Amino acid sequence: MLEGHFLLSSGRHADRYFQCAKLLQYPDRAAAALQPVAARIKTDIQAGNLELDAIAGPAIGGIIVAYELGRQLGLPAFFTERDDAGNMSVRRGFEVRRGARILIAEDVITTVKSSGETARALEALGARIAALACIVDRRSPGVQAPWPLYPACTVNVANWEEESCELCKKGLPWVKPGSRVRAQSIS
């Protein structure tokens, strides 16, 4: 977790940022972090409360999460990504069977926006969204997930629309972390 003033991919501002890529770079730690999520999903499958055919993660944050959950659950996993027009789509020859029950896997959810974009791309191909899983659920009060949710952890972190951002009001400059942060060498 990083502290500062961040512009999130949702367009909202926050005082803390969860850089899950730093966790996911270690396969053993990714497996351990997602094991409780996979266990809850397995329990619901065995109880007849959930049926899954595959897992899809929105690029880029959901790719490793989807593949690790797929490995632990014994299900195929793939990802959605933006096309040349900026729309979330299924590419690279991945096939989605009509009626397939899909779990969407994310690293962090705040507004459920990228999950919704992924859902629309999958539903356009005839899939049904069965559930949503994530490492960090940092939704604001009132933001609902339209599917059953399986988070590894839930945290309360302040986040604001730009016009009501407490940090902007203080004149603090923001940074856009994530895929735009350059690698650093360490000694």
pLDDT band at residue 183, thresholds of 50, 70 and 90? very low
Residue pair 162/168 in contact by the 8 Å Cβ criterion: yes
Burial 5-21 (b: 16+ CB within 10 A, else e): bbbbbbebbbbebbebe
DSSP for 39-65, written as a single string:
HHHHHHHHTTS---SEEEEETTHHHHH
pLDDT band at residue 180, thresholds of 50, 70 and 90? very low
β partners of residue 125: none
Coil, strand, or helix at residue 187? coil
Whole-angstrom distance, CA of residue 158 vs CA of residue 132: 22
pLDDT band at residue 187, thresholds of 50, 70 and 90? very low
pLDDT score of 2: 83
Tell me the per-residue pLDDT of 75-96, one tens digit each, with 9 for 90 and over: 999 999 999 998 898 998 899 9
Residue pair 107/132 in contact by the 8 Å Cβ criterion: no
In the chain, CATH 3.40.50.2020 covers 19-154
The pair of structure tokens assigned to 82 is: 């933006």
Tell me the per-residue pLDDT of 40-73, one tens digit each, with 9 for 90 and over: 999 999 999 999 999 999 998 899 999 999 999 9
Residue pair 138/36 in contact by the 8 Å Cβ criterion: no
The CATH code belonging to domain 19-154 is 3.40.50.2020
pLDDT score of 178: 64
pLDDT score of 71: 98
